[in-house]
Amino acid sequence: MTGKIPLTARGAEKLRTELQELKTVARPKVIEAIAEARAHGDLKENAEYHAARDQQSFIEGRIADINGKLGNAQIIDVTELNARGKVVFGSTVDLVDEETGKAITYQIVGEDEASISEGLVSITSPIARALIGKEEGDVAEVQAPGGLKCYEIVEIKYV
């Protein structure tokens, strides 16, 4: 990977918490399961052993993945930004769909943090790209699968 990957302080903390859980709970548990399965004898036909080894491989891969992400992250504390009223990475933006009048709130986050059900949109998403650099009162046009959507920016928060 080249360059730093943006990550909010909250997103970095979630990754650190997951890493700690994997190292202190999941890894020891799977090592114990492998030892227990080995004690049952012939490993060639031992489904418990193979399942535990697969789980161990997943855990070790995830640990390496998180370490890589944290090592390559540019952690941005949104509360300390001086964005001069513009939408930037980490901003929480209150929008109104101009067609339906429906209010929506999104926070622009890193790819690993994105969760549309929690209102967290990836910096690489079409909506985030349309919002970046805009100010309150501006209209962002987003090319959505269903056609062009227009959102008025009602409020920008750095929380």
C-alpha 46/C-alpha 39 separation (Å) is 10
C-alpha 131/C-alpha 93 separation (Å) is 9
CA angle centred on 101, ends 87 and 143, rounded to 5°: 55
Average pLDDT over the chain reads: 92
pLDDT surpasses 50 at 1: no
Least confident of 35-49, 68-82, 131-145: 35-49
What CATH topology corresponds to 5-76? Helix Hairpins (1.10.287)
| Residue 47, helix vs strand vs coil | helix
Domain ranges of the chain: 5-76, 78-157
| pTM of the predicted model as reported, rounded to 2 decimal places | 0.78
What are the respective helix, strand and coil percentages of the chain, to the nearest 5?
Answer: 40, 30, 30
Instruction: Please tell me the class of the 78-157 domain.
Output: alpha beta
How confident is residue 12, by pLDDT bands cut at 50, 70 and 90?
Answer: very high
